[in-house]
A = this chain, B = another copy of it.
Amino acid sequence: MFKATIKGDKLKETVSALTALVDETKLNITEKGITARSVDAANVAMVAMELTQDAFETYAGTEGSIGLNLVKLESALEMVDKEDVVGLELDETSHKLKIEFGGITFTHSLLDPSTLRKEPNIPALNLPIEVSINGLDFKTGLKASEKVADYVRMGMADDTFKISAEGDTDAVDYVIPADRLKVVKAADATSLFSLDYLTKIKKVAEKATDVTLILGKDFPVKIKFPLAEETGTIEYMIAPRVEEQE
């Protein structure tokens, strides 16, 4: 069972955070909220989302799982205004999710969760760097990197956080000084990542005051930030591109 109402901007932010990486997902419903864990089609990146019942205006749910086509949902939600209250209601008999706002009723056919990619276990990694940066800094560094290359290097050096990219001819460096970092663990180490995923993630992350980055040397990066006015969280893990030795 699942019947809830939620502000439009919170729902749209949550769906966009998922579509940054995956087109469809299994959504787990409990009495306390909803969660989703998915791996991208290329097996390079994972996402884990959690929204507590505090994210909702009203919430009633019991244990269950449904499959969502996130691309169709995101398209339908384009018509939702920030201040709209969106009604969500699961019809278990017909396998549909009813989405209501501004007089419009969308009826979304659920996917069979057993046909979706298996939910990944996001591994606990003991990595030497854990630091929070402002979402706008994250966005600026990535956007500048896109100007010159398809890959970006992220990590720390000399107590600063560095986002840099090296293209065929031109290069970019964006250095976030120590006084703009919230450091949990610091070390001198960097890893290289495809901008494909990060370009989409930066659009969701730019509103976050604190984007937490956990990384090391040639290791995956974990990117975590709050969703829906801190009533939920999104966490991405992206595999590094390990450079061949020259």
Residues A106 and B170 in contact in the complex (CB < 8 Å), given A76-B147, A147-B79: yes
Verify if A124 is at the interface (C-beta below 8 Å from B): no
Verify if A66 is at the interface (C-beta below 8 Å from B): no
Q: Which A residues, 141 to 198, have Cβ-Cβ distances below 8 Å to chain B? A: 141, 143-144, 147-148, 169-176
Verify if A203 is at the interface (C-beta below 8 Å from B): no
CB distance from A72 to the nearest CB of B (A): 6
CB neighbours of A173 from chain B (8 A): 104-105, 107
Q: Is the beta-carbon distance between A102 and B72 smaller than 8 angstroms? A: no
Which of B69, B140, B148, B171 contacts A103, CB < 8 Å? Answer: B140
CB distance from A6 to the nearest CB of B (A): 19
Which of B103, B108, B171 contacts A174, CB < 8 Å? Answer: B103
CB neighbours of A175 from chain B (8 A): 103, 105
Q: A74-118 toward B: CB 8 Å interface, digit per residue (1/0)?
A: 011011000000000000000000000011111111000000000
Residues of A within 8 A of B (CB): 69, 72, 75-76, 78-79, 102-109, 140-141, 143-144, 147-148, 169-176
Can you identify 25 A-B contacts, CB atoms within 8 angstroms? A69-B169, A75-B147, A76-B148, A76-B170, A79-B140, A79-B147, A103-B140, A103-B174, A103-B176, A104-B140, A104-B141, A104-B144, A105-B172, A105-B173, A105-B174, A105-B175, A106-B144, A106-B147, A106-B170, A106-B171, A106-B172, A107-B171, A107-B172, A109-B169, A109-B170
